[in-house]
Amino acid sequence: MPVAVEIADAAADENIFAAVFDHFTYIDEKFSTYKPESEMMRINRGELPERDWSDDMRIIYMLSEETKQRTGGFFDIRRPDGTVDPSGIVKGWAIWNAAKIIEKAGFGNFYVDAGGDIQTHGLNAEGPAGAKWSIGIKNPFNQKEVVKTVYVSGEGVATSGTYLRGEHIYNPKDGRPANEIVSLTVIGPNIYEADRFATAAFAMGAAGIRFIEQLPGLEGYMIDRDGTATMTTGFEKYIKI
Amino acid sequence: MKKYAAYVLSAVVVAAFIVYWLVSRPDQANMAANAGAPAGNAGTTGASGTPGGTPAPAPTTTPTPAAAGNGYKDGTYTGPVADAIYGQLQVAVTVSGGKITDVSWPVYPDSGGHTLQVSQSALPALKQEAIAAQSAKVDIVSGATQTSQAFQQSLAAALAQAQA
């Protein structure tokens, strides 16, 4: 998964990019379920009592619990096999924090893209949209194509789907894969909100788009396995340049 | 005393962060990086929102990964009841041994069950369309990845590339 950071401001130098990648490295070292010595894996193996958890780990658990409650249990970092995989909450949180690092460094026009989940900020004066950042929603049936373009400035855009390596999001209620829809893109006030609710709504299947519809500040574009897209009532304000 | 206030604030900020998320709306979204709420008036009751009223612009410092060792003072800190989107919300944070050991919601809006119930009921049809490829030239592409697994697995490799 590529991590991309683009800063449109002329003053951007290597230092800010290094800071952002240091941040992601820190996140990876702590929360990775692929690194045996990460704090997350030590917890999963029962080696780290709760009293010894880091503050960031506690925050992630807390945010996960809050998200679980807000989504009626459809968001859960606990996997069917009993282990904890926090990436559903960590990813959006980490991207959003990366954006904050850049903003605090004084930059106003940039985006952070981690594997297709995006936090935008400010404008892209040289972009094809001429102002806002343009984001294409990938065709779930042909990854080289874009089926919709949205224009955002400051929002976060996240897509949950099945098409990279098959089904991967489970309905925590019954442990079965959610597969009625193949792609759900959510635009939110920031990537943290967009990502966590995209993940949860995707697990709801076809009802997910209605869940997004009811959440203030979030809009969605859902594509089902027949190639039909369903959008929330406010979505179209993002398709205008 | 000042130090004590800072500890209280730290805990309160954690609680306030949750409250913020429940009350955040699009027109408040630009406050994301408005870090550094005034630290002088941490008080003892928590101050993330006005009970029953419009929540104050909440402190937004918490989500930044914390440096190790910024322990909190032991105790349980309960935020005020705030007006969240779906109803009233109150957060309590328990700190023990300098660490957050529990977060609870003494008052929590009935969002989950209610929301999902509503979602199953009859609602106006949402607009649909057949997807079609666009030739759009875009800045960025949003698409699904192996959200729950690929992120960390590939991140290290991506970072190695980025720093090469």
The residue among A30, A66, A77 with the most chain B CBs within 10 A of its CB, best to mutate, is A66
Percent of chain A past pLDDT 70, that is, above it, reads 90
**Higher pLDDT residue, A72 or A171?**
A72
Distance of CA A237 to the CA centre of its chain: 21
Q: What pLDDT does B126 receive? A: 87
Buried b (16+ CB within 10 A) or exposed e, A119-149: bbbbbbeebebeebbbbbbbbbeeeebbbbb
Q: Which of B19, B11, B70, B69 is nearest to B42 (CA)?
A: B11
Q: Is residue B74 part of a domain?
A: yes
What span, in angstroms and rounded, lies between the C-alpha atoms of B102 and A11?
A: 43
Please answer yes or no on whether A147 and B101 come within 8 Å at the CB atom: no
Residue A78, token pair as written in the block:
């606990």
Q: Which of A53, A64, A44 is nearest to B97 (CA)?
A: A53
Please answer yes or no on whether A137 and B116 come within 8 Å at the CB atom: no
Q: What pLDDT does B37 receive? A: 32
What span, in angstroms and rounded, lies between the C-alpha atoms of B156 and B130?
A: 37
Q: Is residue B116 part of a domain?
A: yes
**Higher pLDDT residue, B39 or A74?**
A74
Q: Is residue B89 part of a domain?
A: yes
**What DSSP element (H or E) covers B17?**
helix B2-23
Residue A20's contacts (CB-CB under 8 Å, 6 or more residues apart) are A5, A98, A101, A102, A112
pLDDT band for position A127 (cuts 50, 70, 90): low
What span, in angstroms and rounded, lies between the C-alpha atoms of B86 and B21?
A: 12
Residue A199, token pair as written in the block:
């993940």
Q: Which A positions 68-87 lie with beta carbon below 8 A of chain B?
A: 69-74, 79, 85, 87
**What DSSP element (H or E) covers B9?**
helix B2-23
- The shortest CB-CB distance from B153 to any of A34, A103, A210 is to A34
Return mean pLDDT, chain A.
88
Please answer yes or no on whether B145 and A136 come within 8 Å at the CB atom: no
Q: What pLDDT does A55 receive? A: 93
Q: Is residue B4 part of a domain?
A: no
Q: Is residue B32 part of a domain?
A: yes
Q: Is residue B51 part of a domain?
A: no
Q: Give the count of domains, chain B.
A: 1
Q: What pLDDT does B91 receive? A: 63
Q: What pLDDT does B14 receive? A: 42
Question: CB under 8 Å, gap of 24 or more: what pairs does A20-24 form?
Answer: A20/A98, A20/A101, A20/A102, A20/A112, A21/B159, A21/B162, A21/B163, A23/A94, A23/A97, A23/A98, A23/A101, A23/B65, A24/A94, A24/A98, A24/A114, A24/B155, A24/B159
Residue A201's contacts (CB-CB under 8 Å, 6 or more residues apart) are A71, A74, A160, A184, A186, A208, A209, A211, A212, A220
Confidence check: pLDDT of A239 > 50: yes
Distances (CA, A) of A125 to A160, A187, B40, B156, B164: 29, 21, 40, 31, 29
Q: What is the tens place of the pLDDT at every residue in A159-169?
A: 988 644 344 44
Please answer yes or no on whether A85 and B148 come within 8 Å at the CB atom: yes
**What DSSP element (H or E) covers B63?**
none
**What DSSP element (H or E) covers B71?**
none
What span, in angstroms and rounded, lies between the C-alpha atoms of B54 and B58?
A: 11
Q: What pLDDT does B4 receive? A: 44
- HEC sequence for chain A: CCEEEEECCCCCCHHHHHHHHHHHHHHHHHHCCCCCCCHHHHHHCCCCCHHHCCHHHHHHHHHHHHHHHHCCCCCCCECCCCCECCHHHHHHHHHHHHHHHHHHCCCCCEEEEECCEEEEECCCCCCCCCCCEEEEEEECCEEEEEEEEEEECCCEEEEEECCCCCCCCEECCCCEECCCEEEEEEEECCHHHHHHHHHHHHHCHHHHHHHHHHCCCCEEEEEECCCEEEECCCHHHHCCC
Q: What is the tens place of the pLDDT at every residue in B92-150?
A: 666 677 665 665 656 555 444 434 444 444 456 789 999 988 866 888 889 875 333 33
Q: What is the mean pLDDT of residues A174-185?
A: 70
Q: What is the tens place of the pLDDT at every residue in B19-61?
A: 444 344 333 333 333 333 333 333 333 333 333 333 333 333 3
Crossing angle of helices A14-31 and A87-104, in 10° steps, is 160
Q: Is residue B50 part of a domain?
A: no
pTM of the model: 0.66
Work out the minimum CA distance from A84 to partner chain B, whole angstroms: 10
Contact at 8 Å (CB) between B22 and B89? yes
Any chain B CB within 8 A of the CB of A118?
Answer: yes
What span, in angstroms and rounded, lies between the C-alpha atoms of B107 and B92?
A: 9
Please answer yes or no on whether B130 and A228 come within 8 Å at the CB atom: yes
Identify the domain containing residue B108 by its residue range: 13-45+58-123+148-163
Which chain A residues are within 8 Å of B70, Cβ to Cβ?
Answer: 55
Q: Is residue B40 part of a domain?
A: yes
Q: What is the mean pLDDT of residues A32-38?
A: 92
